[in-house]
């Protein structure tokens, strides 16, 4: 049973209070970034860790484009097919529903437009492609049944095969059952029942399709009398018995009108090909190729290090489907070499695969491993801001990831910045044993810079996965470790620091984000030449960006001075950027959350960012990092007065009373205020779903019919406007 959870975050906006300035940021691809003298053609595509590839016509020009879903951060990356070149087009991302774990595109209703199949509640949801003038989708079913009332079981760690298994014209589903080992066949009954594809009716047809059993790096073929189980209700099986993970791709490899099976497993490095020696009505796997897709041309086998997955689509624009092999693991992927492309020199139903590259799309983009933490810093004192980016780490076979700092030198001019990636392990951080307990390098390196000792040079402070800080002294541009475990500061896990003069006393203080989503404030109680951090103020500002309340916030703070007033931006694990005001003179109080244009700049999970004026236009630009190890760039045309306003000491203003409860709400919401006016409730898309007149001090709203989610409540009166998001 799903608990209804309607969350409203307090945001007070009054018409009679003072206004503030807000940055209006726009995605920008004009900034040039190169490595080894070669410019990245799609630098800001955002990185790929565990990509899932599908094709769809994004701009409705009749040409198939590309969509990559990265389960690392649940990031959707659309690419427009421009005469065979794939151009990153994030504007189409907003047309897609929010999905997680896996997403495949296929035409479920035979209208020529690829629809969305995605994970939902131990099963699968389907969204219809309803595009006409613009790309759009509509939910068909949130949970496919097979048969009713049982869901079509698919594990969130698996990739199912969606194909016309029985060659009757509609799309069936193959998936591993709850116990693993055998493949379940869910037959689409649309054609049989209605004569049309445009129906979602599945029948659990076989629990051991192909009559094979997959063990640990082994197979038992032709096993009707061995260990193939009887059809059971997957919902009655104990969850602890679920298998570790497998990926499936059904294609006719030998042009005999039945589906063969390309299988990946969490315990494999290679894809395996199982040949169907039966027919399209009665599958029978008769042989296994463990080095797929090797062929007579000696094409190399796909080697993904961990958990391979195959995708079949035409990316060479010759009308014949090619093979892309990736990893289905969010961790331990090969970072910028995890998208292997095999061009098909044969036919779609009789392929001849030839290896092309290990970094399809990845070679065109900045990919710094897993996670990226950018900050601006002039490393060579040429008055041009360079870029330093930390990461969780690069993959290392059979070992833990290795974290490092990437240095992007600004090789442009004061007005036209131009960056070159000159060092992926700047200052040799990967070999510095910052983890003093284990005497090994640290993970999740997050940098910040500032002059802590008044010597005219900025020192470096690094956060790490263990919640510690590490101090590096700057000697003529070279950084040496001076104080690991700086002042024994420990915020738990995943510290992300910023050096900034918070209390405006002329000394640099430290703000630290952490895994649980809160912020920590360490005021500098020392001197200009001898800093001292002996106090940690936890839960600073009352901020918590952990929307799941399970210590997965991964707060990343950035306090900036906007026209003499501090504004605080905080990144989060979900990729949402939150903005807070009411900081000046209120360092021990609760900060005010406000609606911000930065909240719409989503570019992947676990976002981290920095602001700076890098083109001398007196307006800040932003570099945004994400969980996939990529970066995005946003420029600012101007600093504009926002239409919203911030109250002054509103919580102490006895003339205005306002309270809502309970929040979150499950069935009933009470609005308590001395303000009389019109109440509106809008969904996150801005659509008004409720409107009523408030004439009394207490006003109750029935929320039992609302869907789960975040809503905006607005109260308009003659004297004020109050908005609660």
The partner residues of 152 in beta bridges, in order of sequence, read: none
Q: What is the mean pLDDT of residues 482-506?
A: 97
CA–CA dist 451, 438 (Å, integer):
30
Is the pLDDT confidence value at 179 over 90?
no
Give the pair of three-digit tokens for residue 134.
């613009």
Q: What is the mean pLDDT of residues 308-322?
A: 96
Q: What is the pLDDT of residue 638?
A: 56
Q: What is the mean pLDDT of residues 461-485?
A: 96
Q: What is the 3-state secondary structure (H, E, C) of 254-302?
A: CCCCCCEEEEEECCCCCEEEEEECCCCCCCCEEEEEEEECCCCCCCCCC
Residue 209's closest CA among 251, 179, 165, 178?
A: 165
Q: Which helix (H) or strand (E) holds 193?
A: helix 190-194
Query: φ, ψ for residue 593 (rounded to 5)?
Result: -75, 140
Q: For the chain, what percent of residues have pLDDT higher than 70?
A: 88
702 or 343, higher pLDDT: 343
Q: What is the mean pLDDT of residues 485-492?
A: 97
Is the pLDDT confidence value at 283 over 90?
yes
pLDDT, tens digit, 9 for 90 and up, residues 232-242? 444 444 333 44
- Indicate the pLDDT class of residue 243, thresholds 50, 70 and 90: low
Q: What is the pLDDT of residue 235?
A: 45
For 22-36, 417-431, 703-717, which range has the lowest pLDDT when averaged over its residues?
A: 703-717
Q: Which helix (H) or strand (E) holds 644?
A: strand 631-645
419 class by beta-carbon count within 10 Å (0-12 exposed, 13-18 middle, 19+ buried)? buried
Beta strands (DSSP E) in 180-238 are 183-188, 202-206, 212-214, 219-221
Is the pLDDT confidence value at 683 over 90?
no
Is the pLDDT confidence value at 647 over 50?
no
CA–CA dist 373, 463 (Å, integer):
10
Q: What is the pLDDT of residue 13?
A: 33
pLDDT, tens digit, 9 for 90 and up, residues 558-617? 999 887 889 999 999 999 999 999 999 999 999 999 877 788 888 999 999 999 999 998
CA–CA dist 303, 518 (Å, integer):
40
Is the pLDDT confidence value at 707 over 60?
yes
Only one residue has tokens 């209390």, namely 503
CA–CA dist 183, 278 (Å, integer):
16
> Strands 271-276 and 285-292, how do they pair?
antiparallel
Q: What is the pLDDT of residue 18?
A: 31
The alpha carbon of residue 446 and the mean position of all alpha carbons in its chain are separated, in whole angstroms, by 18
Give the pair of three-digit tokens for residue 716.
């308009």
Residue 367's closest CA among 151, 85, 68?
A: 68
pLDDT, tens digit, 9 for 90 and up, residues 689-699? 888 887 776 78
244 or 434, higher pLDDT: 434
82: Cβ–Cβ under 8 A, 6 or more apart, which residues?
none
Give the gyration radius of the chain's Cα atoms. 28
Q: What is the pLDDT of residue 721?
A: 53
Across all residues in the chain, what is the average pLDDT? 87
pLDDT, tens digit, 9 for 90 and up, residues 368-406? 999 999 999 999 999 999 999 999 998 877 778 899 999
CA–CA dist 640, 13 (Å, integer):
17
- Indicate the pLDDT class of residue 296, thresholds 50, 70 and 90: low
- Indicate the pLDDT class of residue 550, thresholds 50, 70 and 90: confident
Is the pLDDT confidence value at 483 over 50?
yes
pLDDT, tens digit, 9 for 90 and up, residues 110-138? 999 999 999 999 999 999 999 999 999 99
- Indicate the pLDDT class of residue 163, thresholds 50, 70 and 90: very high
Give the pair of three-digit tokens for residue 571.
């990144």
587 or 710, higher pLDDT: 587
- Indicate the pLDDT class of residue 678, thresholds 50, 70 and 90: confident
Q: What is the mean pLDDT of residues 497-525?
A: 97
The alpha carbon of residue 702 and the mean position of all alpha carbons in its chain are separated, in whole angstroms, by 34
Q: What is the pLDDT of residue 148?
A: 87
- Indicate the pLDDT class of residue 641, thresholds 50, 70 and 90: very low
Q: What is the pLDDT of residue 237?
A: 41
């Amino acid at each position: 049973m799903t608990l209804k959870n309607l969350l409203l975050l307090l945001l007070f906006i009054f018409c009679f209070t003072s206004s503030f300035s807000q940055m209006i940021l726009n995605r920008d691809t004009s900034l040039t970034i190169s490595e080894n003298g070669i410019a990245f053609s799609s630098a800001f595509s955002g990185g790929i860790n565990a990509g899932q590839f599908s094709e769809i016509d994004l701009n409705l020009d009749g040409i198939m484009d590309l969509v990559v879903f990265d389960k690392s951060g649940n990031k959707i990356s659309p690419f427009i097919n421009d005469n065979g070149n794939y151009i990153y087009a994030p504007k189409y991302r907003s047309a897609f529903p929010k999905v997680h774990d896996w997403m495949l595109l296929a035409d479920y209703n035979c209208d020529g437009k690829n629809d969305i199949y995605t994970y939902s509640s131990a099963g699968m949801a389907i969204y219809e492609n309803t595009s006409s003038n613009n790309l759009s989708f509509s939910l068909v079913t949130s949970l496919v049944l097979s048969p009713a009332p049982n869901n079509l079981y698919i594990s969130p760690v698996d990739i199912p095969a969606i194909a016309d298994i029985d060659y009757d014209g509609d799309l069936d589903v193959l998936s591993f059952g709850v116990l693993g080992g055998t493949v379940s066949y869910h037959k689409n009954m649309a054609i049989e029942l209605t004569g049309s594809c445009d129906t979602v009716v599945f029948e659990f047809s076989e629990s051991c399709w192909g009559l094979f059993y997959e063990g640990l790096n082994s197979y038992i073929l032709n096993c009707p009398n061995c260990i193939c189980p009887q059809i059971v209700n997957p919902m009655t099986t104990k969850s602890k018995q679920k298998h570790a993970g497998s990926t499936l791709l059904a294609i006719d490899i030998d042009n005999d009108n039945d589906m063969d099976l390309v299988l990946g497993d969490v315990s494999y490095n290679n894809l395996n090909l199982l040949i169907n020696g039966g027919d399209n009505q009665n599958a029978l796997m008769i042989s296994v190729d463990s080095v797929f897709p090797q062929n007579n041309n000696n094409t190399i086998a796909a080697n993904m290090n961990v958990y391979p997955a195959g995708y079949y689509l035409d990316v060479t624009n010759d009308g014949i489907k090619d093979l892309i092999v990736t990893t289905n693991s969010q961790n331990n992927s090969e970072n910028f070499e995890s998208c292997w492309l095999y061009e098909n020199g044969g036919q779609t139903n009789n392929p001849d695969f030839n290896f092309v590259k290990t970094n399809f799309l990845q070679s065109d983009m900045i990919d710094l491993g897993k996670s990226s933490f950018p900050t601006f810093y002039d490393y060579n004192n040429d008055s041009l801001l360079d870029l330093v980016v930390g990461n969780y780490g690069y993959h290392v076979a059979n070992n833990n990831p290795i974290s490092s700092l990437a240095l992007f030198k600004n090789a442009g001019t004061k007005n036209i910045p131009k960056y070159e990636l000159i060092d992926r392990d700047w200052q040799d951080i990967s070999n510095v044993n910052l983890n003093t307990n284990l005497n090994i390098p640290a993970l999740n390196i997050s940098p910040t810079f500032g002059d802590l000792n008044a010597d005219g040079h900025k020192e470096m402070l690094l956060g790490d996965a263990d919640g510690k800080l590490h101090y590096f002294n700057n000697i003529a541009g070279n950084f040496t470790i001076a104080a690991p475990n700086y002042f024994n500061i420990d915020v738990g896990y995943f510290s992300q620091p910023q050096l900034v003069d918070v209390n405006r006393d002329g000394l640099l203080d430290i703000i630290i984000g952490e895994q649980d989503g809160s912020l920590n404030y360490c005021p500098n109680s020392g001197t200009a030449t001898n800093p001292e951090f002996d106090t940690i103020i936890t839960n600073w500002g009352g901020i918590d960006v952990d929307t799941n309340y399970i210590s997965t916030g991964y707060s990343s703070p950035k306090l900036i001075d906007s026209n003499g007033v501090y504004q605080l931006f905080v990144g989060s694990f979900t990729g949402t950027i939150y903005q807070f005001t009411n900081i000046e003179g209120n360092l021990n109080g609760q900060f005010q959350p406000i609606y911000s244009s930065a909240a719409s700049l989503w570019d992947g999970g676990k976002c981290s960012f920095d602001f700076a004026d890098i083109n001398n236009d007196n307006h800040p630009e932003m570099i945004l990092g994400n969980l996939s190890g990529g970066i995005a760039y946003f420029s600012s045309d101007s600093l504009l007065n926002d239409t919203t306003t911030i109250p002054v000491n509103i919580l102490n203003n006895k003339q205005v009373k306002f309270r809502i409860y309970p929040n979150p709400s499950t069935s009933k919401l009470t609005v308590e205020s001395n303000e009389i006016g019109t109440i509106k409730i809008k969904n996150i898309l801005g659509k008004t779903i409720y409107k009523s007149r408030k004439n009394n001090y207490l006003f109750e709203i029935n929320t039992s019919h609302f869907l789960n989610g975040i809503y905006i409540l607005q109260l308009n009166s003659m004297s004020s406007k109050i908005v609660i998001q």
